[in-house]
Amino acid sequence: MLATYKGRRDAAESLRAETGAEIFQCDVGSRDDRQALLEFARERFGRLDLLVNNAGMAPRERRDILEATEESFDELIATNLKGPYFLTQQAARWMAEQGRGRIVFITSISSYTASVNRGEYCVSKAGLSMAVALYAQRLAAVGVQVFEIRPGIIRTDMIAAVEQVYEEKIAGGLLPQRRMGESTDIARAVRAIADGLLDYSTGQVLNVDGGFHLRSL
């Protein structure tokens, strides 16, 4: 198991202590870092069974789309969309050589839910959802399955500043399942894919969102 990190080395070290994972510092938005990551994986493991595209960030400052900056847009696209897209391209070539592999993209309900104070985040996640369809279509014939896990409101550092607001909305009926999601909910979905339980479902979107995606009258 190989875990990557950009800024939270403490979290990576905690994972290594818990699982024995190898860790590697990588800015997924950097072409050189992506290449170095895969070279490290080849040297250390010799094969690639699973890629989980979990790198992601929110805007450093939430701004209405009429006030948002190009700098913020560029940063989010590089980290949330461009980086995973091209890391997957490199990983997919390797998996195609092997004739097997599984790829997971962690997207967001923001791929289809408009939040006008963080438009760049929504655009990046919408693009990532299309990347799933593209890679799933391209790689199915070579034995590589591609999946999208679409989280809802998950208790992470990313939402810490607005966690109480979300808790109040959930209590008021925002979600059919009246609780916020936890990182373990996402991990279980990844585990199901890693264990091959969905190998005849390439391109599938797994909504891990407490029922947010449901529509009712």
- The answer on 114 and 36 residing in a single domain is no
Nearest Cα to Cα of residue 192 among 201, 20, 126, 211: 201
Cβ count within 10 A of residue 8: 11
102 in the same domain as 198: yes
Calpha distance 139→146 (Å, rounded): 8
Whether 113 and 71 share a structural domain: yes
Residues 32 and 122 reside in one and the same domain? no
Euclidean distance between CA atoms 49 and 93, whole angstroms:
12
Let me know if 148 is exposed, middle or buried by CB neighbors in 10 A (0-12, 13-18, 19+): buried
Residue 149, phi then psi, degrees to nearest 5: -105, 120
Structural domain of 24: 1-46
Give the mean model confidence (pLDDT) for residues 89-97: 98
Q: How many CA atoms lie within 13 A of 74 on its CB side?
A: 4
Look at residue 3 and tell me whether its pLDDT is greater than 80.
no
Average the pLDDT over 65-80 and give the result.
Answer: 98
- Classify 113 as helix, strand or coil: coil
- The string of pLDDT tens digits covering residues 136-155 is 999 999 999 999 999 999 99
pTM above 0.75, yes or no: yes
Residue 82 lies in a domain: yes
Confirm whether 121 is a catalytic residue.
yes
Residues 77 and 175 in one domain: yes
Among residues 112, 121, 135, 200, the one annotated as catalytic is: 121
| Contacts for 73 with CB less than 8 Å, ≥ 6 apart | 120, 123
Q: Which pLDDT does position 5 carry in this prediction?
A: 64
At 7-50, the pLDDT tens digits run 678 878 888 888 888 999 999 999 999 999 999 999 999 999 99
